[in-house]
Chain A
Amino acid sequence: MKNKKCIAMLLAGGQGSRLGLLTKVMAKPAVPFGGKYRIIDFPLSNCTNSNIDTVGVLTQYRPLELNSYIGSGQTWDLDLSYGGVYVLPPYATADSSEWYNGTANAIYQNFGFIEQFDPEYVLVLSGDHIYKMDYNRMLSSHIERNADVTIAVRPVPWEVAPSFGIMNVDENDAIIEFEEKPKQPKSNLASMGVYIFTWKVMKEYLTADAADPKSQNDFGKNIIPNLLNDKKALYAYAFTDYWKDVGTIASLWEANMDLLKTPPEFDLTDPRWKIYSRTPVMPPHFIADDAVVENSMVTEGCEIDGIVRDSVLFAGVTVEKGAVVEDSVIMPGTTIQAGAIVRRAIVSEDCVIAKRCEVGESAGDIALIGQDTVLPEGYVVKAGLQVDNDAISRKEGA
């Protein structure tokens, strides 16, 4: 079989614990975003749009939702006879059975998968960012510069640089130093967690890393420093378009709100760079006589009778008469009953916010309601709090 020039390995095993209740029942890449997407739609659609047709998705934490969402990969045109999307969970062998232990280890355990396609290059992606990126351009730059590894970087504000992996580069964009979360950063170029490896180099370094018992088997902590020590050709590839880490409740909320600005900070409507997602098979949404809908995003299956301002509503959301939803993200299948008020909140899938509930406040941190929660009538959730069915029964029991 003809070899593949470049295949992608998408690291989707992380728990995303900073997303609190949102990732209690699903992995971070499966978290809904932007009215009809999930986070993983972005890297997968980027792959399809960049003509990278073979993607291994490495799963570990709560994979059920993710597995069923990816399915055959048809959504992203990744249901091919040779190539396509593959879900790669950890597995047992005759003499060992291991969980994925670190990002590099996860890929090392799937060398067999990669070798089937005999690629020249391997693209490493993560499933926790919202962005549109042409990986092909990055690959061209990798090939042009004859690099061993190319790392996508983007300038971040200096004050937040200490929370990123920072690349120090020379005038040719060659990486001379990598610092994981430096206290006094010398540069503001943050690693986006998008790497292109020349496969031969990846194979050599990941094999050596796997044999090192002291290693944490992590790209940032071990592999990149080792490559730098050996004076390998590492280059930075600058990306300056919209890119948002949605690893926290606040940043996930913000990224959703970015879609509502005029013009939007992040535009999903470009016909040449569509973001694909599984459709919910629902009729168009309906807006009733007494409804108010302003500066919001609404999608299929919604029925709106109440007031919706500055919010993102996912498929099948019902907002009853007299209910108010402001500055909020309401995920699929949730019902906001008459007289309930939701402000600055994220409400997860299939919740019921009963009559006269108050979720969130007009200022302060984002409130979060976990999946399948049924909030009793008149229940109040203050700013910044997280509530699900367990929390309610604990409170009632107390």
Chain B
Amino acid sequence: MNDVMGIVYTSKDDLTLRELTSQRAVAAIPVAGRYRIIDFTLSSLVNSNIHNVGIIAQKNYHSLMDHLGSGKDWDLHTRNNGLFILPPFLTRENGGEYSGVLDALKANFDYLRRSRQEFVILTNSDYVMNTSFEPMIQQHIKSGADITLMYKKATPEITEFTSSSKNDHCYLGIGEGGIVNDIEINPNAASYDNLYLNVMMIKRTMLMYMVDQVISHGSHDFYADMLRPYIKSGALKIMAYEEKGYYRRIETIRGYFNFNMDLLKPGVRKELFGANPVYTKTRDSVPTIYRGNAKIKNSLIADGCVIDGEVENCVLFRGVTVGKGAKLKNCVIMQDGYIEEDVELENVIFDKAVTIRSHSRLVGPGQYPIVIGKNITL
């Protein structure tokens, strides 16, 4: 077991994800047929031998709690360590809502103090990546760094952000020997192509000290008030670690849609599911049944579906029904979607348990899929 604990910060409300986050945290958004975004973060931690994980929950955390349960699906239900869900709570100093990562960390000093691991990996949970943190942990310890920041070379697919959602997009300036010497926060035109992945490794006690210092000086921004000054001062050894695997931050409806479509590529599936398993809450669904009229092309389909129609370039989650004569193209249909006979759907995202009555037709523009919210009957 590594001497490392994990802290997962489930992001603020992300309005650019509209219906998908109206009732759930970004980390709890369903992806890839049977997962939630946070499954990738948690599985990466567990597969890196990290068995003490705190989840900082924000508003709308019901769906997250429901999903995580005791943590047993990630083997995080052990006697010491395990899974700790850390929702905001009311105290004399605290208003029942975290105003950011710093605030959340400060509020959970008790948990941090009680944990026994020497190091912390602090990560967001608004991205999909299945990696091992082992090499970063090794590099951090070997290099004697105070802080290690994980980054990835920015490519157009990765940085496909909308202008309204520039929350905490940081780019790192990296000097000789991998030392981080600059950080740009939400730049319009970044000077560097080293995208910070919001994953850092640091000594637990040092993190607590830094958080305390920044907050006691009246500052609250993790990036501008904490990371930047330390990087600029050069007082600490802050190293960069390059991640090379598949990474997509889910921030917009289009990004969400494109990520799901990406899974239809064999190479992407291999990167995400080939090496390390991704754990999720089990639902005990039966296998999917294809009836005599089913015609399926290039689609990713979870268990528990009953399909008698035509499905092309789609991701179907668990328990979706596709009636006879129905035609689905370029769709993402979440759990328990019910598509009756002779329905035609194209470029559509259905949130959970959407029903569409027979003979209906719903076609979205190719660049901008239509989203239908949870539990709606059309």
Dominant secondary structure of chain A at its interface with chain B: loop
| A295→B291 contact, CB < 8 A | yes
Residue numbers in B under 8 Å from A299 (CB-CB): 287-288, 303
A-B contact count (CB 8 A): 94
> What residues on B are CB-neighbors of A296 within 8 Å?
289-290
Asked whether, in the complex, the Cβ of B278 is within 8 Å of the Cβ of A36, the reply is no
Is residue A321 contacting chain B, with contact meaning CB distance below 8 A? Answer: no
Known: A289-B298, A300-B303. A283 touches B292 (CB 8 A): no
Q: Which of B32, B282, B284, B304 contacts A283 (CB 8 A)?
A: B32
- Asked if A298 lies at the interface with its beta carbon under 8 angstroms from chain B, I say yes
CB distance from A364 to the nearest CB of B (A): 24
A260 at the interface (CB under 8 A from B): yes
Interface string of B49-87 (1 = CB under 8 A from A): 000000000000000000000001000000000000000
- Taking a contact as CB atoms under 8 Å apart, the answer to whether A291 and B297 are in contact is yes
| Bitwise interface map of B from 12 to 36 toward A, beta carbon under 8 Å scored 1, else 0 | 0000000000000000000011100
A276 within 8 A of B: yes
A227 to B291, CA, bound (A): 50
The residue in chain B whose Cβ has the minimal distance to the Cβ of A313 is B287
Q: Is the CB of A295 within 8 A of B290?
A: yes
> Does any Cβ of A come within 8 Å of B178's Cβ?
no
Complex CA gap A277/B303 in Å reads 13
Residue B299, interface by CB 8 Å: yes
Residues of B within 8 A of A62 (CB): none
Q: Is B294 an interface residue (CB 8 A)?
A: yes
Contact B287 A286 (CB under 8 A): no
With A281-B277, A281-B278 as contacts: A286 and B288 at CB distance below 8 Å: no
Q: Mark B141-156, 1 if CB is under 8 A from A, else 0.
A: 0000000000000000
Residue A9 at the B interface, CB < 8 A?
A: no
Q: How large is the interface on B (under 10, 10 to 19, 20 to 34, 35 or more residues)?
A: 20 to 34
Q: Which residues of B contact A279 (CB under 8 A)?
A: 282, 284
Q: How many residues of A contact B (CB 8 A)?
A: 35
Q: Report chain A residues within 8 Å CB of B171.
A: none
Q: Does B300 contact A (CB under 8 A)?
A: yes
Please tell me if A228 contacts chain B, counting CB pairs below 8 Å: no
Cβ of A262 under 8 Å from chain B: yes
The answer to whether A268 touches B286, judged by C-beta atoms less than 8 angstroms apart, is yes
Q: Are B34 and A283 in contact (CB under 8 A)?
A: yes
Q: What's the Cα separation between A35 and B304 when bound, in Å?
A: 11
Instruction: State which residues 265-290 of A face B: CB under 8 Å.
Output: 268-269, 274-277, 279, 281-289
Chain B residue nearest to A288 in the complex (CB): B298
Q: How far is the CA of A288 from the CA of B312 in the complex (A)?
A: 9
Asked whether A226 is an interface residue with its Cβ less than 8 Å from the other chain, the reply is: no
Contact of A74 (CB < 8 Å), options: B72, B266, B269, B294? B72
Across the interface, which residues of B come within 8 angstroms of A367, CB to CB? none
Q: Which residues from chain A contact B292 at a C-beta distance below 8 Å?
A: 262, 294-295
Q: Which of A284, A291, A293 makes the CB contact (< 8 A) with B300?
A: A284
Chain B: CB-nearest residue to A300? B303
Interface string of B135-174 (1 = CB under 8 A from A): 0000000000000000000000000000000000000000
B286 close to A282 (CB less than 8 A): no
**Is A34 located at the chain interface by the 8 A CB criterion?**
yes
CA distance A300 to B318 in the complex (A): 11
Q: Within B266-293, which residues are at the interface with A (CB < 8 Å)? A: 266, 269, 272-273, 277-279, 282, 284, 286-292
Interchain CA distance A299-B295 in the complex, whole Å: 17
* A297 is an interface residue with CB less than 8 A from chain B: yes
Contact of A276 among B284, B289, B296, B315 (CB under 8 A): B284
A294-B294, A295-B291, A295-B292 known; A285-B300 Cβ under 8 A: yes
Closest 9 CB pairs of A and B: A35-B287, A284-B33, A299-B287, A284-B302, A287-B296, A268-B286, A283-B273, A281-B277, A297-B287
- Interface residues of chain B, those whose CB is within 8 Å of chain A, are 32-34, 72, 264, 266, 269, 272-273, 277-279, 282, 284, 286-292, 294-304, 315-316
| Additional pairs, 19, CB under 8 Å, beyond known A36-B286, A283-B300 | A34-B287, A35-B286, A35-B287, A36-B287, A281-B277, A283-B269, A284-B34, A284-B302, A284-B316, A286-B264, A286-B299, A287-B297, A289-B298, A291-B297, A296-B289, A297-B288, A297-B289, A298-B301, A299-B287
